[in-house]
């Protein structure tokens, strides 16, 4: 090869690697590989094989370059929104273990409501900078190119929003495998943006498919038949269901060591060897998904929305509270936080509660028995304070002559991120002494000591007030802590597959703790009706709530 040809090749190579589009793809390869090293899902090699992802990504980069004024920083400014559109969902995956969907944007108001000021400022500043930077450098001089370049984007939006079935059919022919049981595998096969569009089209299609269910006389008749059956049988026991925010048992981290046991002696004495497990539909957040399963007895598939409760309008859905109310129960829901979270008011009305109570501090005009008290240092109402007020409510309800049986549902909020303790009321009791340290877990373990004491006291005192009752206590989900690596490195339940969804469940039947085989949250309504009817519910076998409950809830229940 001549010197002239060699110089030409070198110049071509230099020009190639200085090309903004080549650098853009190389950056995302490095980015993907870096995230895999800390727990991400898409390697650089897998990223380069995503033929449904790369063309739209390059198109968006080109279009942003068209919109932004020419300068030496044009490419960098154009790339910023796209980098952040990857970074945000990837951080969410690292912390919460789930792939971001567009429907998750509905949770933003709730997220803002529970974020600390520091996190709110940092995240708000990052998002604001990402959006503001391109706006400051916009240029509309190439207006013809801008209009023409927008057409593919408009076509994509129309296809997903208006013609979801056509989009899904086309995706099925052109894309790689959609793994229905794993969003992560589907993203590896097809790409983040591609799956974002696909899942949104699926959600919109699900909305159209449900139109046929609004005319539902047969469904109503079946629900009324079950309610009448319960009423005729005359089972009148009171039921107390408590869903606790992030009630993780620190002793289940098998590689974690502590300076003191995280279990309060009262809690250990009452429940040692008599604690069970229930699988939540979520990890790290979205309490309402766990609530949906516990109250409605159906899996939270996210077909209609990222949060099932957001789809409720208040119309009777015939969940467990509604069926019990129709059979003669008084159904009351007590929520320790704000009513504007996860569409709670409409959702609770839809599942069947005829009474809803929230702390007066959040709803001043509401006649509620609840008060948060002083939460300046801890943000959220302590479990013990919530339980004490609820016991007073139960005592008052049961003191009424010829009172109806009570379905008493309670949702706690203490234990939510950022896991703060009021050290004047609840000083730190223990230290995490493992080689791998997570300050969040240390705070959660300290909280658990006090929360366990509150649970034991509540069960003991509630048993005195209502000795014939059935009490079910379950954690909504595991807390995110410092992310999934904490659960892996400290070997939560020996780090087995699926353990990120395994939560503690306590069942107290007529004052005695009972242990059951591991179930799902959506099995809890069936468990309640089965215990309530001495096993007749599962033998009835009419299809209401998950089938096969007899094996788990009949002879298997072990009275301690």
Task: State pLDDT tens for residues 219-264.
Answer: 788 888 888 988 887 678 999 999 999 999 999 999 999 999 999 9
Pairwise CA distance, residues 370 & 360, whole Å = 6
Task: State pLDDT tens for residues 137-172.
Answer: 878 888 888 888 889 999 999 999 999 999 999 998
Ramachandran class of 54: left when φ > 0, alpha when ψ lies in -120 to 50, beta otherwise? alpha
- Mean pLDDT on 93-121: 68
pLDDT, residue 388, reads: 96
- Cα-Cα-Cα-Cα dihedral of 182, 185, 186, 192, to 10°? 110
Task: For residue 20, name the pLDDT band (cuts at 50, 70, 90).
Answer: confident
Pairwise CA distance, residues 85 & 28, whole Å = 12
Ramachandran class of 409: left when φ > 0, alpha when ψ lies in -120 to 50, beta otherwise? beta
Pairwise CA distance, residues 24 & 46, whole Å = 16
Task: For residue 181, name the pLDDT band (cuts at 50, 70, 90).
Answer: low
- Beta-ladder partners of 335: 411
C-alpha distances in Å from residue 546, one per residue of 31, 216, 230, 405:
44, 20, 17, 24
Residue 116 reports pLDDT greater than 90: no
Backbone angles phi, psi at 228, to 5 degrees: -65, -35
Pairwise CA distance, residues 184 & 97, whole Å = 9
Q: Among the ranges 254-258, 405-409, 478-482, 484-488, which has the highest mean pLDDT value?
A: 405-409
> Percent of the chain, pLDDT > 90?
42
Q: Are 74 and 68 in contact (CB under 8 A)?
A: yes
Residue 294 reports pLDDT greater than 70: yes
Burial class (CB in 10 A: 0-12, 13-18, 19+), 316: middle
Residue 417 reports pLDDT greater than 90: no
Residue 555 reports pLDDT greater than 60: no
pLDDT, residue 30, reads: 92
Average pLDDT, the chain: 84
Residue 97 reports pLDDT greater than 70: no
pLDDT, residue 560, reads: 27
Tokens encoding 17: 């690697």
C-alpha distances in Å from residue 230, one per residue of 331, 332, 360, 372, 404:
15, 19, 35, 36, 14
Q: What CATH number labels 236-518+527-538?
A: 3.40.720.10
Q: Is the peptide bond before 422 cis (omega within 30 degrees of 0)?
A: no
Tokens encoding 194: 């591609």
| CA triple 60-64-68, angle to 5 deg | 175
Task: For residue 550, name the pLDDT band (cuts at 50, 70, 90).
Answer: very low
Please enumerate in sequence order all residues whose Cβ is within 8 A of that of 76, keeping only pairs 6 or more positions apart, or say none: none
Taking the CA atoms of 545, 548, 553 and 555 in sequence, report the sign of the dihedral they define: positive
Strand 276-279 relative to strand 519-520, pairing:
parallel
Task: State pLDDT tens for residues 401-410.
Answer: 889 999 999 9
Taking the CA atoms of 451, 454, 456 and 462 in sequence, report the sign of the dihedral they define: negative
Q: Where are the domains of the chain?
A: 14-210, 236-518+527-538
Pairwise CA distance, residues 191 & 32, whole Å = 11
- Mean pLDDT on 484-501: 84
Ramachandran class of 407: left when φ > 0, alpha when ψ lies in -120 to 50, beta otherwise? beta
Q: Are 486 and 443 in contact (CB under 8 A)?
A: no
Whole-model pTM: value is 0.71
Backbone angles phi, psi at 347, to 5 degrees: -65, -45
Pairwise CA distance, residues 53 & 82, whole Å = 12
Return the closest-CA partner of residue 227 out of 523, 524, 521, 529.
Answer: 529
């Amino acid at each position: 090869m001549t010197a002239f040809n060699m110089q030409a090749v070198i110049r071509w190579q230099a020009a190639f690697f200085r090309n903004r589009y080549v650098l853009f793809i190389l950056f995302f390869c490095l980015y993907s590989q870096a995230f895999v090293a800390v727990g991400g899902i898409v390697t650089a090699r897998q990223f380069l094989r995503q033929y449904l992802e790369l063309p739209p990504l390059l198109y968006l980069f080109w279009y942003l370059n068209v919109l932004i004024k020419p300068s030496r920083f044009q490419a960098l400014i154009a790339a910023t929104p796209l980098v952040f559109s990857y970074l945000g969902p990837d951080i969410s995956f690292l912390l919460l273990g789930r792939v971001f969907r567009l429907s998750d944007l509905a949770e933003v108001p709730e997220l803002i409501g529970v974020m600390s000021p520091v996190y709110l400022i940092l995240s708000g500043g990052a998002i604001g900078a990402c959006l503001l930077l391109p706006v400051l450098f916009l240029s509309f001089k190439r207006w013809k190119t801008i209009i023409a370049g927008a057409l593919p984007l408009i076509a994509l939006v129309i296809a997903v929003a208006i013609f979801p079935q056509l989009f899904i059919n086309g995706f099925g022919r052109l894309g790689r495998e959609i793994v229905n049981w794993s969003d992560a595998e589907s993203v590896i096969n097809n790409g983040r943006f591609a799956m974002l569009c696909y899942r949104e089209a699926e959600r919109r299609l699900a909305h159209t498919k449900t139109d046929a269910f609004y005319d539902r006389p047969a469904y109503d008749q079946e629900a009324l038949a079950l309610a009448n059956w319960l009423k005729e049988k005359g089972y009148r026991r009171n039921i107390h269901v408590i869903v606790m925010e992030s009630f993780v048992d620190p002793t289940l981290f098998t590689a974690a060591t502590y300076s003191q046991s995280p279990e309060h002696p009262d809690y250990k004495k009452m429940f040692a060897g008599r604690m069970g497990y229930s699988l939540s539909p979520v990890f790290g957040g979205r309490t309402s998904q766990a609530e949906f399963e516990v109250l409605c007895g159906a899996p939270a598939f996210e077909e209609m929305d990222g949060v099932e409760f957001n789809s409720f309008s208040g119309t009777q859905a015939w969940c467990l509270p509604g069926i019990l109310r129709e059979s003669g129960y008084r159904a009351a829901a007590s929520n320790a936080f704000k009513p504007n979270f996860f569409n709670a008011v409409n959702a609770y009305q839809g599942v069947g509660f005829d009474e809803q109570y929230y702390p007066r501090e959040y709803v001043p005009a509401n006649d509620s028995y609840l008060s948060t008290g002083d939460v300046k240092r801890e943000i959220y109402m302590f479990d013990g304070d919530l339980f004490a007020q609820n016991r007073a409510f139960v005592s008052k309800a049961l003191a009424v002559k010829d009172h109806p049986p009570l379905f008493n549902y309670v949702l706690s909020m203490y234990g939510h991120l950022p896991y703060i303790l009021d050290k004047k009321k609840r000083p730190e009791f223990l230290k995490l002494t493992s080689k791998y340290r997570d300050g969040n877990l240390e705070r959660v373990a300290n909280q658990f000591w006090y929360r366990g004491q509150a649970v034991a006291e509540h069960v003991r005192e509630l048993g005195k007030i209502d000795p014939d009752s059935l009490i079910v206590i379950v954690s909504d989900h595991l807390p995110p802590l410092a992310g999934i690596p904490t659960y892996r490195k400290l070997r939560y339940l020996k780090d087995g597959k699926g353990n990120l969804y395994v939560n503690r469940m306590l069942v107290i039947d007529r004052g005695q703790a009972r242990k059951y085989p591991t179930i799902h949250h959506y099995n809890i309504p069936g468990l309640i009706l089965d215990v309530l009817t001495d096993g007749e519910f599962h033998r009835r076998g009419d299809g209401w709530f998950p089938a096969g409950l007899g094996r788990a809830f009949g002879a298997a229940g072990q009275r301690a």
